[in-house]
Amino acid sequence: MLLTSLLCLSSVAAAISPQLNADFSLARRQDSSLSLAASSQSIFLPWTSSFSRSSSTPPSIRGSIFGRLQTFLVDTSTTHVIVTASLVPDIKLTTQNPAGWEYLASKETLLIGRFATLDITFYSTTRNTRAVSRVSVLVATKAFKCPGYDESVDHGICPASKLRVKGTPRLNNVYLGVGFGRDDAGSDASLSTASHNAFLNVISINGANASSLRTGYTVSSRGVQLGLTPNNTAGAVWTPLRKLADPDPRAWALPQVSFTIDNSSEPVQAEALIDTSVTQMYIPSVPQVFLPNVAVNSAVQHVKAGTKLTFAFPDFKSGVAGYDFVVGDGGFPSQPSAVVPVDDRTTSFVNLGRNFLFGFEMLYDAVGGRFGLICARCV
């Protein structure tokens, strides 16, 4: 069942009372940074096809680069626009373009190329309704099949022991990483995350300067809204975000979430990612919490069907939104394709997956430093 308020979770909330960090008090923010009264510009970018519960491919929107029509795969788990050189033959790269790379974990592929600042056009329902973003793009010229690539030590080089295939990148679509609170793609230049997010660098809408656009966006099962306004944020509940060390004022951390397993009275606090690139949910296991799980194909572990998971944003004491479900319940609209336990002793992190958006619309306010939710299937 999806819920608009954690007041509905009285039996859970009464037993759980983690303290809310003072930095997460929305009342401590200045009202002037939160008001959307002067924000009137926005544009809706519909998905190119029905939002999928099972596809391994992220949802996509339409647009163009150098006037050439492109399909943009929208991934909220990464940041940076990636395009293969074959899709943008008009651009000429030189050693003056900063070198960079990106590892696509789902494809076990390391892409290497150079950054170039390009104008990207996004289309609404027709090509006459459009937004233009000016952003640095990684133009990939080499690709390496590199299973086991370690971003913390390999730094854009596939070790010989891991290299399987070397060749030319064959991405048929533009990879549009629009996440926030995510690490930057590798580069030998100093590149801030927000400055490489195409959704945060809109310069015009329908030919008019984006002077009245509130930098931010919404993502739902219908598509994307660029630019926050009073209308497209109506009904939203908000939780403030922690400012990152990045000097860019639009760089904020991921939102906080608290969760419990079955009827546990000991919640786990974690960062939350709504990831459009996957339909699974990934949830921390040991040492934070014990998750009943079963082996699938004698290798992959999945949380056992019948396990109850309950989530609260940002926690159970001062939460603004939340939901609970039973793993394997086919009637639950946001049921992930699988719930995968992750044994990561360095961080506490929940990837809620794409199916979360069948119940909620997510909002990111890059000016006010807020994460928002609008309930689409609440009771």
pLDDT in tens, 115-145: 999 999 999 999 999 999 999 999 999 999 9
Neighbour-count burial of 91, counting CB atoms closer than 10 A to its CB (0-12 exposed, 13-18 middle, 19+ buried):
middle
Reply yes or no on domain 43-228 having CATH 2.60.40. Answer: no
Rounded CA-CA distance 227/200 in Å is 9
Tell me what pLDDT residue 95 has. 96
- Cα–Cα distances (Å) from 161 to 113, 154, 164, in that order, read 22, 12, 9
Domain spans, the chain: 2-32+236-243+250-375, 43-228
**pTM for this structure?**
0.87
Q: Is the peptide bond before 292 cis (omega within 30 degrees of 0)?
A: no
- Say if CB 317 and CB 13 are below 8 A apart: yes
Answer for the pair 45, 224: CB distance below 8 angstroms, yes or no: yes
Residue 314 has a pLDDT of 96
- In 3D space, the residue among 274, 278, 252 whose CA is nearest the CA of residue 359 turns out to be 274
Q: Residue 100 is encoded by which pair of tokens? A: 């960079």
pLDDT tens digit at each of 379 positions of the chain: 444 333 333 333 443 333 333 222 233 333 456 889 889 999 999 999 999 988 889 999 999 999 999 999 999 998 889 999 999 999 999 999 999 998 887 789 999 999 999 999 999 999 999 999 999 999 999 999 999 999 889 989 999 999 998 888 878 999 999 999 975 555 544 455 899 999 999 999 999 999 999 999 999 999 999 999 999 999 999 999 999 888 899 999 999 999 999 988 889 999 999 999 999 999 988 555 566 666 555 467 889 999 999 999 999 998 999 999 999 999 999 999 999 988 766 668 899 999 999 999 999 999 999 999 999 877 6
Pairing of strands 202-205, 208-209: antiparallel
CATH number of 2-32+236-243+250-375: 2.40.70
Residue 204 phi, psi dihedral angles, 5° rounding: -155, 155
Pairing label, strands 79-84, 130-145:
parallel
CB 327 within 8 A of CB 306: yes
Q: How many residues make up the chain in this entry?
A: 379
> What's the longest Cα–Cα distance across the chain?
62
SS3 144: strand
Q: Are strands 130-145 and 165-167 parallel, antiparallel or unpaired?
A: antiparallel
Asked if the domains at 2-32+236-243+250-375 and 43-228 fall in one CATH topology, the answer is yes
CA distance 10 to 2: 14
Residue type for position 348: S
Q: What angle do CA 251, 272, 152 make, to 5 degrees?
A: 65
- Helix, strand and coil content of the chain, in percent to the nearest 5, comes to 10, 40, 50
